[in-house]
Amino acid sequence: MTMDTQDKTHDKIRQQVSGNPVVLYMKGTPQFPQCGFPRLAVQALNACGRDELFQRQVLENPDIRQGIKEYANWPTIRSSTSRRVRRRSTS
């Protein structure tokens, strides 16, 4: 990945993370996860009433797949991130 592509990818990730309360970078989709952690994350979010989430399928986008590792400074895909979100009222 060139430096220009890397910067653009990191900017895109930064916008996704800052512009959405819950972000899930995953292999597969919420309906058809291809990995254990995203499957459990989607189930947990749904159980908490958090059915709106921003997700990106990393297998279809190698720049995001690599960029999320660099952005998070973590050797594997950091699958989820969230801003502090107020709990929804159940009444």
Please report, for the chain, the start and end positions of each structural domain, with discontinuous segments joined by +.
Answer: 24-82
- The angle subtended at Cα 80 by Cα 82 and Cα 44, nearest 5°, is 85
- Tens digit of each residue's pLDDT (9 = 90 or more) over 61-74: 999 999 988 888 87
Question: pTM of this prediction?
Answer: 0.74
pLDDT at 87: 44
Dihedral sign from CA coordinates of 26, 31, 33, 37: positive
Top CATH class, 24-82? alpha beta
